[in-house]
Copies of this chain bind each other. A is one copy, B any other.
Amino acid sequence: MPTAAMLVIGNEILSGKVVDTNSPYLAKQLRELGVDLERILTISDDVELIAREVRALSEGFDHVFTSGGIGPTHDDMTMEAVALAFGRELELNQNMCQRIEHASGGPANESQRKMAMLPAGAKVIDAGDLWFPIVVVENVHIFPGIPQLLQKKFESIRDRFRGDPFHLREVYVKPHESEIAEALHALLGDYPQLMLGSYPRIGEPEYRVLLTLESRDPGYLEQALASLLERLPGDAIHRVG
Protein backbone atom coordinates (compact mmCIF):
# COMPACT_ATOMS: atom_id res chain seq x y z
CA MET A 1 0.00 0.00 0.00
CA PRO A 2 1.36 3.45 -0.80
CA THR A 3 2.33 5.56 2.20
CA ALA A 4 1.91 9.27 2.74
CA ALA A 5 2.87 12.07 5.09
CA MET A 6 1.34 15.48 5.53
CA LEU A 7 3.30 18.60 6.42
CA VAL A 8 1.18 21.44 7.80
CA ILE A 9 3.07 24.73 7.60
CA GLY A 10 1.93 27.67 9.65
CA ASN A 11 2.47 29.61 12.84
CA GLU A 12 -1.26 30.27 12.93
CA ILE A 13 -1.94 26.60 13.72
CA LEU A 14 0.78 26.29 16.36
CA SER A 15 -0.31 29.49 18.08
CA GLY A 16 -3.94 28.35 18.24
CA LYS A 17 -5.32 31.17 16.09
CA VAL A 18 -6.52 28.88 13.30
CA VAL A 19 -7.70 25.26 13.61
CA ASP A 20 -6.16 22.92 11.03
CA THR A 21 -9.03 21.30 9.17
CA ASN A 22 -6.82 20.26 6.24
CA SER A 23 -5.20 17.26 7.83
CA PRO A 24 -8.51 15.72 9.03
CA TYR A 25 -9.86 16.21 5.50
CA LEU A 26 -6.83 14.66 3.85
CA ALA A 27 -6.70 11.80 6.38
CA LYS A 28 -10.24 10.83 5.48
CA GLN A 29 -9.68 11.14 1.74
CA LEU A 30 -6.47 9.10 1.79
CA ARG A 31 -8.12 6.37 3.86
CA GLU A 32 -10.96 6.10 1.37
CA LEU A 33 -8.42 5.86 -1.43
CA GLY A 34 -6.37 3.15 0.29
CA VAL A 35 -3.31 5.29 0.97
CA ASP A 36 -1.66 4.84 4.37
CA LEU A 37 -1.20 8.25 5.97
CA GLU A 38 1.54 7.59 8.51
CA ARG A 39 2.51 11.01 9.78
CA ILE A 40 1.07 14.50 10.17
CA LEU A 41 3.60 17.14 11.16
CA THR A 42 2.83 20.78 11.91
CA ILE A 43 5.73 23.23 11.95
CA SER A 44 6.28 26.96 11.82
CA ASP A 45 7.10 29.30 8.92
CA ASP A 46 10.87 28.78 8.92
CA VAL A 47 12.56 28.11 5.57
CA GLU A 48 15.35 25.86 6.80
CA LEU A 49 13.08 23.87 9.08
CA ILE A 50 10.53 23.36 6.31
CA ALA A 51 13.27 22.35 3.88
CA ARG A 52 14.70 19.81 6.32
CA GLU A 53 11.32 18.23 7.03
CA VAL A 54 10.26 18.19 3.35
CA ARG A 55 13.48 16.37 2.53
CA ALA A 56 13.05 13.81 5.32
CA LEU A 57 9.39 13.13 4.55
CA SER A 58 10.09 12.89 0.82
CA GLU A 59 12.65 10.16 1.53
CA GLY A 60 10.47 8.32 4.04
CA PHE A 61 7.09 8.16 2.30
CA ASP A 62 5.67 7.58 -1.17
CA HIS A 63 3.66 10.79 -1.23
CA VAL A 64 4.09 14.03 0.70
CA PHE A 65 1.40 16.70 0.90
CA THR A 66 2.12 20.16 2.21
CA SER A 67 -0.46 22.75 3.17
CA GLY A 68 0.12 26.45 3.67
CA GLY A 69 2.73 29.07 2.91
CA ILE A 70 2.16 29.63 -0.82
CA GLY A 71 0.54 33.07 -0.83
CA PRO A 72 2.17 36.41 -1.67
CA THR A 73 3.09 37.63 1.84
CA HIS A 74 6.26 37.67 3.93
CA ASP A 75 5.32 34.49 5.81
CA ASP A 76 4.76 32.42 2.64
CA MET A 77 7.96 30.48 2.10
CA THR A 78 6.98 26.96 1.12
CA MET A 79 8.22 27.24 -2.48
CA GLU A 80 11.59 28.56 -1.35
CA ALA A 81 11.83 25.78 1.23
CA VAL A 82 10.94 23.01 -1.24
CA ALA A 83 13.55 24.36 -3.65
CA LEU A 84 16.11 24.30 -0.84
CA ALA A 85 15.07 20.79 0.18
CA PHE A 86 15.97 19.42 -3.24
CA GLY A 87 18.90 21.73 -4.01
CA ARG A 88 17.03 23.51 -6.81
CA GLU A 89 16.87 27.17 -7.73
CA LEU A 90 13.71 29.19 -7.34
CA GLU A 91 12.84 30.65 -10.75
CA LEU A 92 10.08 32.61 -12.42
CA ASN A 93 7.75 30.03 -13.95
CA GLN A 94 6.33 31.40 -17.21
CA ASN A 95 3.29 29.13 -17.11
CA MET A 96 2.40 30.45 -13.64
CA CYS A 97 3.07 34.03 -14.68
CA GLN A 98 0.65 33.71 -17.59
CA ARG A 99 -2.00 32.15 -15.36
CA ILE A 100 -1.70 34.99 -12.84
CA GLU A 101 -1.91 37.66 -15.54
CA HIS A 102 -4.86 35.92 -17.13
CA ALA A 103 -6.64 35.69 -13.76
CA SER A 104 -5.96 39.27 -12.67
CA GLY A 105 -6.44 40.81 -16.13
CA GLY A 106 -3.18 42.73 -16.20
CA PRO A 107 0.56 42.51 -15.65
CA ALA A 108 1.59 40.82 -12.39
CA ASN A 109 2.63 43.12 -9.54
CA GLU A 110 5.60 42.29 -7.32
CA SER A 111 3.56 40.19 -4.89
CA GLN A 112 1.97 38.24 -7.71
CA ARG A 113 5.36 37.62 -9.30
CA LYS A 114 6.48 36.16 -5.97
CA MET A 115 3.71 33.58 -6.32
CA ALA A 116 5.08 32.63 -9.75
CA MET A 117 8.54 31.81 -8.36
CA LEU A 118 8.69 28.00 -8.30
CA PRO A 119 11.45 25.44 -7.74
CA ALA A 120 13.21 24.68 -11.05
CA GLY A 121 11.66 21.71 -12.81
CA ALA A 122 8.45 21.85 -10.77
CA LYS A 123 5.46 20.21 -12.42
CA VAL A 124 2.40 22.41 -12.76
CA ILE A 125 -0.91 20.52 -12.82
CA ASP A 126 -4.25 22.04 -13.69
CA ALA A 127 -6.66 22.06 -10.74
CA GLY A 128 -10.16 21.99 -12.18
CA ASP A 129 -11.52 25.50 -12.60
CA LEU A 130 -9.00 27.18 -10.27
CA TRP A 131 -6.43 29.39 -11.95
CA PHE A 132 -3.78 28.45 -9.39
CA PRO A 133 -2.43 25.02 -10.33
CA ILE A 134 -1.07 22.25 -8.12
CA VAL A 135 2.70 22.41 -7.96
CA VAL A 136 4.56 19.10 -7.65
CA VAL A 137 8.28 18.70 -6.97
CA GLU A 138 9.58 15.12 -6.83
CA ASN A 139 6.91 13.33 -4.71
CA VAL A 140 5.85 16.51 -2.88
CA HIS A 141 2.42 17.94 -3.69
CA ILE A 142 2.15 21.56 -2.62
CA PHE A 143 -1.30 22.69 -1.48
CA PRO A 144 -2.59 26.00 -0.16
CA GLY A 145 -3.60 26.42 3.47
CA ILE A 146 -7.07 27.72 2.68
CA PRO A 147 -9.34 24.71 3.25
CA GLN A 148 -11.76 25.40 0.39
CA LEU A 149 -8.88 25.64 -2.09
CA LEU A 150 -7.03 22.63 -0.73
CA GLN A 151 -10.17 20.54 -1.04
CA LYS A 152 -10.98 21.65 -4.57
CA LYS A 153 -7.42 20.98 -5.63
CA PHE A 154 -7.21 17.61 -4.00
CA GLU A 155 -10.50 16.52 -5.54
CA SER A 156 -9.17 17.42 -8.97
CA ILE A 157 -6.26 14.95 -8.63
CA ARG A 158 -7.47 12.41 -6.05
CA ASP A 159 -7.79 9.57 -8.55
CA ARG A 160 -4.03 9.64 -9.05
CA PHE A 161 -3.64 8.22 -5.55
CA ARG A 162 -6.18 5.41 -5.67
CA GLY A 163 -4.79 2.26 -4.03
CA ASP A 164 -6.36 -0.77 -2.38
CA PRO A 165 -8.91 0.61 0.07
CA PHE A 166 -9.91 -0.57 3.54
CA HIS A 167 -13.36 -1.77 4.50
CA LEU A 168 -14.71 -0.58 7.82
CA ARG A 169 -17.32 -1.82 10.31
CA GLU A 170 -18.19 -0.03 13.54
CA VAL A 171 -19.56 -1.52 16.77
CA TYR A 172 -20.89 0.74 19.53
CA VAL A 173 -20.78 -1.04 22.89
CA LYS A 174 -22.15 -0.26 26.34
CA PRO A 175 -19.53 -1.68 28.77
CA HIS A 176 -16.43 0.19 29.90
CA GLU A 177 -13.31 -0.41 27.84
CA SER A 178 -11.65 -2.28 30.71
CA GLU A 179 -14.54 -4.79 30.74
CA ILE A 180 -14.08 -5.75 27.09
CA ALA A 181 -10.31 -5.43 26.72
CA GLU A 182 -9.75 -9.16 27.23
CA ALA A 183 -12.33 -10.09 24.58
CA LEU A 184 -10.64 -7.74 22.11
CA HIS A 185 -7.27 -9.23 22.89
CA ALA A 186 -8.63 -12.75 22.23
CA LEU A 187 -10.25 -11.60 18.98
CA LEU A 188 -6.89 -10.33 17.72
CA GLY A 189 -5.38 -13.70 18.61
CA ASP A 190 -7.76 -15.35 16.13
CA TYR A 191 -7.73 -12.51 13.57
CA PRO A 192 -4.17 -11.17 13.59
CA GLN A 193 -4.65 -9.26 10.30
CA LEU A 194 -7.63 -7.33 11.65
CA MET A 195 -7.10 -3.63 12.30
CA LEU A 196 -9.03 -3.09 15.51
CA GLY A 197 -9.58 0.26 17.18
CA SER A 198 -11.18 0.93 20.56
CA TYR A 199 -12.24 4.49 21.35
CA PRO A 200 -13.93 5.41 24.64
CA ARG A 201 -16.57 8.11 24.46
CA ILE A 202 -17.70 10.39 27.25
CA GLY A 203 -21.11 11.99 27.31
CA GLU A 204 -22.83 9.51 24.99
CA PRO A 205 -25.94 8.23 26.77
CA GLU A 206 -26.24 4.94 24.88
CA TYR A 207 -22.70 3.57 24.56
CA ARG A 208 -19.26 3.91 26.13
CA VAL A 209 -16.88 2.67 23.46
CA LEU A 210 -16.71 2.76 19.67
CA LEU A 211 -14.93 -0.25 18.20
CA THR A 212 -13.68 -0.03 14.62
CA LEU A 213 -12.80 -3.13 12.59
CA GLU A 214 -10.94 -2.75 9.32
CA SER A 215 -9.52 -5.02 6.67
CA ARG A 216 -8.83 -4.91 2.94
CA ASP A 217 -10.58 -8.29 2.67
CA PRO A 218 -14.34 -7.86 3.14
CA GLY A 219 -14.88 -11.60 3.86
CA TYR A 220 -12.22 -11.60 6.59
CA LEU A 221 -13.77 -8.46 8.04
CA GLU A 222 -17.26 -10.00 8.26
CA GLN A 223 -15.89 -13.15 9.90
CA ALA A 224 -14.01 -11.09 12.46
CA LEU A 225 -17.10 -9.00 13.14
CA ALA A 226 -19.22 -12.12 13.71
CA SER A 227 -16.54 -13.47 16.02
CA LEU A 228 -16.46 -10.24 18.01
CA LEU A 229 -20.24 -10.20 18.40
CA GLU A 230 -20.14 -13.78 19.72
CA ARG A 231 -17.52 -12.85 22.29
CA LEU A 232 -19.50 -9.96 23.76
CA PRO A 233 -22.62 -10.39 25.92
CA GLY A 234 -25.77 -9.76 23.84
CA ASP A 235 -26.77 -6.74 25.91
CA ALA A 236 -23.34 -5.13 25.44
CA ILE A 237 -24.07 -4.08 21.86
CA HIS A 238 -25.72 -0.75 21.26
CA ARG A 239 -25.40 -0.68 17.49
CA VAL A 240 -23.42 -2.20 14.61
CA GLY A 241 -22.66 0.05 11.66
Contact = CB atoms under 8 A, between A and B. Distances in A.
Contacts of A115: 178
A27 interface: yes
Interface string A165-189: 0101000000001110110110010
A15 B27 contact: yes
Number of copies: 2
Interface string A39-55: 11111100000000000
Interface of A: 8, 11-20, 23-24, 27-32, 37-44, 71-75, 109-112, 114-115, 145-146, 148-149, 166, 168, 177-179, 181-182, 184-185, 188, 195-203, 212, 214
14 contacts: A8-B40, A12-B199, A13-B24, A14-B37, A14-B38, A15-B166, A16-B30, A17-B168, A17-B197, A39-B42, A73-B185, A74-B181, A111-B179, A114-B181
